Amino acid sequence: MKTFCRYRGWLLAALLVLPFTITNDSLWLDEGDTAVKYVAQPDLPAWWAAIHHDGGSDSEMPLGDFCFWAASRVLGTAEWQLRSLNILWGTLALIAVALAARRLQLAWLPLLFVLQPFFWFYLDQARPYALQTALGAWLFFAFVEFITAKAGGTAWAWTLAVAGFVLFCATMLAPLSIFAIVLAGAWAAWRRGWKPARKAVLILLGGALACVPVGLYYVSALMRGAKGSQVWSVDWKAFGYVAYELTGQLGLGLPADEIRTLARSPHFAGVVLAHFGQFFLPLLGAALLITVLFLGLKRRRLADDSGLADGLILVLVVATVEFFAVSLVLEKAFWARHYAPVFAFYVALIGLAAVSLWRSTRMWQRVLPVALCGLLLLSALNLRFAPQWRKEDYRAAARFGNAALAEGKSVWWLAGGYPATYYGLPFSFYQPEPGKAFIAFSTRTNLATLPLPDVVIINKPDIHDPGSAVGKLIGESGYRVGARYQNFTVWLKPASLPANP
């Protein structure tokens, strides 16, 4: 009874953290897609029509978009209300982790999971990645059940089949993670001579067959040209950023937008050296993580022959190889969020290493996991509360644009259209129109032939002004900064300039 209460206590402590991860910050670019393309649809047929004609990556994550639409009918469509659905996914994830923790005798694993900055970051987004993380946690529980039961019984098979099917409904990339998990399980069974029951195999086959209709939907989405955006090319810098975010260093160093600027610099090495002091904590965190994993897993492998740690490593390695290979084929960089379905495997690996070091008789080894957890918590708190890590402020930028339009001024809007719609900013494509902000990056017209606008509002120039056409006009015409918001700059035309260039 005492042991049962102890496990429940750790789970309860982790669950109490969840509400504090959700903010009322402005929706950022991708959240605007969720809110306007899907949540704003009046009924289910309209939602289906929207996803069926969507040419972006949202159509490749249908279940998550549907859940946001359905939840908004009850919870509402304000920023916090949209994100609050993720508390449910976080709860389901922690329950799965707690069940696995009992099998592994790691009572505090749910708390370690909820300390992860990656977890906090995606819980606070109206995007489908918290759902994918939760489903991945149930796949992790199925894997632990398989290992601890030595492939016996059918509980692991039912969990794997159901969670795998739902994950496939949540993301087209699910087969990559599921294949890595199944391969690791098959490898463990082959090495140890385990034989799953025939009924378990049939359950898995049934789960695979249930995925066929969903697979046909994804084929149709690809045939109509659905694809995601491309921000970075596939190179070592993109891979490094994935590791930086996944391992929780994002809240310790420079904010993501500044890292993007550094990555675009032709003198990348020199710029990084100039900012070395700002990378001290991330480097310390990475060094602690590597040390904990290396020493802790080495100790565990000497004392435990279950193969669990090797299986977790294999899942992560295979998933990484798959993501990298697909990226090279598609010439599109993968991101840390693609690890959401296998994130629980990564956290469990840290947990196994940490408990091995905690049982050491050497004090310095026991200090290492404590220091690592301290840095992870600091990173998570920074992501949640520090001003420099707040979401890009579409709310304030749209408010400025609306105020300028109300004064009869002309406005160029170099930012996302869906968040602009969410915050009530009217806009036009292709040509400027009176009373509307002009989305300048969408036009094929030579901008130099258009009248100079009174106000230019820019977000992420590498995305919304990639050729620097507007940036050159601003620089050559003597515009001044009128306001700055998170990831936004507002430029004002000098009164002395004529209406035309």
pLDDT in tens, 154-170: 999 999 999 999 999 99
Residue 266 has pLDDT above 70, yes or no: no
Section 109-128 average pLDDT = 96
Residue 231 has pLDDT above 60, yes or no: no
How high is the pLDDT of residue 437?
Answer: 96
What is the pLDDT confidence band of residue 263, given thresholds at 50, 70 and 90? Answer: low
Section 269-283 average pLDDT = 75
Helix (H, G, I), strand (E, B) or coil at 495: coil
Q: What percent of the chain has pLDDT over 70?
A: 91
| Residue whose C-alpha is closest to residue 110's, from 120, 121, 101, 122 | 101
Question: How far apart, in Å, are the Cα atoms of 291 and each of 172, 286, 311, 369?
Answer: 35, 9, 20, 9
Residue range 214-227, pLDDT digits in tens: 999 999 888 877 66
In the beta sheet, which residues pair with residue 489? 458, 484
Residue pair 438/428 in contact (Cβ under 8 Å)? The answer is yes
Lowest mean pLDDT among 8-17, 276-285, 297-306, 328-337: 297-306
How high is the pLDDT of residue 275?
Answer: 67
d(CA 158, CA 70): 27
Highest mean pLDDT among 98-102, 332-336, 357-361, 491-495: 98-102
How high is the pLDDT of residue 11?
Answer: 95
DSSP 194: -
- Give this prediction's pTM: 0.92
What is the pLDDT confidence band of residue 468, given thresholds at 50, 70 and 90? Answer: confident
Kind of pairing, strands 480-485 and 488-492? Answer: antiparallel
What is the pLDDT confidence band of residue 279, given thresholds at 50, 70 and 90? Answer: confident
Residue pair 304/148 in contact (Cβ under 8 Å)? The answer is no
In the beta sheet, which residues pair with residue 414? 458
Torsion, Cα 107 110 115 121, to 10 degrees, reads: 170
Longest dimension (CA), the chain: 83
Helix (H, G, I), strand (E, B) or coil at 438: strand
Lowest mean pLDDT among 13-22, 60-69, 237-246: 237-246
Q: Looking up tokens 């910050």, which residue turns up? A: 25
How high is the pLDDT of residue 443?
Answer: 67
How high is the pLDDT of residue 501?
Answer: 40
DSSP 232: S
DSSP 209: H
The secondary structure element, H or E, covering residue 159 is helix 155-170
Residue range 349-392, pLDDT digits in tens: 999 999 999 988 889 899 999 999 999 999 999 999 999 889 99
Length of the chain in terms of residues written: 501
How high is the pLDDT of residue 2?
Answer: 53
